Amino acid sequence: MRLLGAGDNVVDRYVSLGRIFPGGNAVNVAVFASRLGADAAYLGNLGNDEAGQLVLKSLRHEGVQTDLVQIVDGPNAYAEVRLVDRDRVFIGSDRGVANFDPTLEQLEAMSEFGVVHTAYSGSLGQYVPVMAERTKVSYDFAGRFTRETAWPMLPHLYLATFSASDLSAEEASQLAADAVSAGAEYALATRGGEGAYLASPAGVLFQEADKVVVRDTLGAGDAFIASVLVGLLSRRSLEETLASASAHAAQVCMDYGAFGHGIDARADTTTTEEQVTQNKAGIK
Amino acid at 15: V
Would you say residue 270 has pLDDT above 50? no
The string of pLDDT tens digits covering residues 116-147 is 999 999 999 999 999 999 999 999 999 988 98
Question: Is 277's pLDDT higher than 60?
Answer: no
User: Which has the closest alpha carbon to 105: 132, 68, 139, 135?
Assistant: 68
Residue 280 pLDDT: 28
Statement: residue 83 has pLDDT above 90: no
Mean residue pLDDT of the chain comes to 91
| Distance in angstroms (rounded) separating the CA atoms of residues 4 and 20 | 24
Q: CA–CA distance from 241 to each of 20, 25, 80, 140, 205 (Å)?
A: 31, 20, 32, 18, 11
The region that residue 37 occupies, defined by phi over 0 for left and psi between -120 and 50 for alpha, beta otherwise, is left
CA distance 64 to 57: 10
Q: What is the pTM of this model?
A: 0.91
Instruction: Write down the domain spans for the chain.
Output: 2-280
pLDDT digits (tens, 9 = 90+) for 199-235: 999 999 999 999 999 998 989 999 999 999 999 999 9
Tell how far CA 211 is from the center of its chain.
22
Predicted confidence band of residue 94 (pLDDT cuts 50, 70, 90): confident
CA distances from 172 to 196, 227, 254, 258 (A): 8, 20, 25, 25
- For residue 282, pLDDT beyond 70: no
Instruction: Please say if the pLDDT value at position 267 is more than 60.
Output: no
Task: Please name the helix (run of DSSP H) or strand (run of DSSP E) that holds residue 93, with its range, or none.
Answer: strand 87-94
Indicate the pLDDT class of residue 284, thresholds 50, 70 and 90.
Answer: very low
pLDDT given for residue 276 in this prediction: 33
What backbone phi and psi angles, to 5 degrees, belong to 72? Answer: -115, 145
Confidence of residue 16 (pLDDT cuts 50, 70, 90): confident
Average pLDDT over residues 56-70: 98
Pick the CATH number of 2-280 from 3.90.180.10, 3.40.1190.20, 3.40.50.720, 3.40.50.2300: 3.40.1190.20
What are the counts of helices (DSSP H) followed by strands (DSSP E) for the chain?
A: 9, 14
Q: Rounded to whole angstroms, how far apart are CA atoms 29 and 245?
A: 12
Please count the residues of the chain.
Answer: 284
